Structure 1
Amino acid sequence: MARYKRSEAREWGREMLNGVANVTIPTMKSDFETLNETAIRHDVELSIKHGFVGSLACSEVAITLDQYGQFLSVMADQAAGRSIIVHHAVFNSLEQNLRALKMAEEGGAELVLLSYPPYFYPKDYEEVYEYTRTMCEATDLAVMLFQLPAWGFQRLHPSDIPVSLLRRLVDDCPNVAGIKAEGGTPHFMSMIEVHRHFHKEVVVSCPLDFEYVPLAQVMPIQFSGTNYTSLYGPTIPNIHKLIAAGEYDEATRIWYEIEPARKAFLGQGVAAHGLINRMMWKYEGWLQGYNGGPMPHPTMRVHSHSMKALRQGMIASNLNPTQDPDEAFFIGRNPE
């Protein structure tokens, strides 16, 4: 149950979406049939310990809708109000996404990251508006709009979702509490434009650490997420605190220090053709103490050359990755 009313979504967002949110990826038992609840609870607890204010219940993996509902509920139960559970609204169709919204509400999510299905191929932005408004009107939860090249909307506008459409949605949907501004990647013009137009009304998230840390020193950015920053352990939440305190030199020093890990990550091509390699994200988190362990097939894979590069990047960045051998990743820290 959310801690706010629908009419309070923006006020709640302004107060609570302050910090960094990561991503939790579900873990299966060794039979690959059922969820490993112990492993999921381990990841939520470590995320809180690392200073993340929230975590996305990742649905972009090969689990059923019912398994996803269970996964999110376990996350919310473990978080027990200490962390914001974010619903990943990216199932196959509008109908499935509406069902998943109800599961998310009942399971304890407090924020919806509104995404678009792979087979949603709108002919114009009016179709995007109708889909998005339908989703927003179907829930009392706060919604974060999401610009991203993966949706395929750049054929309509270089920013993926232009300011004119965002303006309509912010005006027409009072539970829109934020915008994840990742449009037009690799350029950050959209982040600048969205911030300029909307940061006084809704929370504008800058999810990429290599953009967030520099930009937050020259413009107010209170939230970064959801993102892959479990890669760095508690580092990005710590940098957020430094920036909030005006300690820009120290934040910048640490940002430079983790450059080897950043380059190793960006060099792996983790988002080919719009699908993120969640198994690789899971390995990166495992290096920092998260569970690792089984994911159901089909999944993209992580190979030895990538594991070596990621581990060495962390070592060079003084991030102290686990000394456990890579084969232990495939079993996980809480095998069942």
Structure 2
Amino acid sequence: MTRTYRIAAIPGDGIGAEVVGAGQKVLQALAKLDGGFTLDITGFDWGSERYRRTGAFMPGEGTDVLRSFDAILFGAVGAPDLPDHLSLWGLRLQICQTLDQYANVRPARMLPGITSPLRNVEAGDLDWVIVRENSEGEYSGQGGRSHRGLGCEVATEVSIFTRVGIERIMRFAFELARSRPRKRLTVVTKSNAQRHGMVLWDEIASEIASEFPDVVWDRMLVDAMTVRMTMDPGSLDVIVATNLHADILSDLAAALSGSIGLAPTANLNPERSAPSMFEPIHGSAFDITGKGTANPIATFWSAAMMLEHLGETAAAERLMRAIERVTADAENHSPDLGGSATTEEITSATIRAIGLNAT
């Protein structure tokens, strides 16, 4: 019996529409070839253009609408003429927090044919998964401003760390580390300076570690972590960090693995009480919007993560093999990788590679 999955497609802004469109083509080609599942994709015009028309990036009942879907494919949000905090909180964070997508998973590795800016690094030395706590921490949205415009104006941004929030992301990260060959986890912290929330983070990490005696783990201050990622990449495997710290470190990881245009993301609701959301991390990139040169590989990789989450493991693996076949050929490299291939050319090459991988 053919399995049907309902997918919500939210292209958003800038190159989001270009790469999500490319992702849909690749997914439909994969589903047609596989024959065991189909994708019922519904598009939503949520984003900055809707905000300009209506004053809201998405309708008030938007997240309730999304609950009826099996997964969400997201592009990007943000426009040059709108403050970034409006667009981020009006769409992406609204979805992530309301649907309790508390585990943000960002793999980073050197794909075939891609060169790292790091000297003498081997592909096997840079194969990480960064787990980002995605619901609280520094991005809790707590705080405010008072005495606006006066000399005594005050703004507060309160980081929230809860035992339940830390426990669940730590357990998720340890379980992920256990599932990988090296079984290693690095816990990122800043407890020398942040003596309350981050000390709780450290204490709970130690508690959860006792449940996973087969996982080798260590703890690293976030500033020292940037040095370790660049100087000793082979010492790292799975990395877990707070909302802010992992946000920064995952961009560094993407750059070190070749390009932010290659980097995928899964915003997971591990308990599956609501749909999870999958997206490239590169943003709306208005400087290249409409030029047809956006790199769609990050979206394709995100789509593979979506298929794996849906239980279509064979299709996910086939898509990843196709991605690797495409990146291995320099003719398929987009401008961010030093090439001249267009979004359409990379998409067509990936669809051809999917067919080749089926034989």
TM-score range, shorter chain: 0.3 to 0.5
Choose 1 or 2 for highest CA Rg. 2
Provide TM-score, normalisation by structure 1. 0.32
- Normalised TM-score (structure 2): 0.31
Structure richer in strand, relative to its length: 2
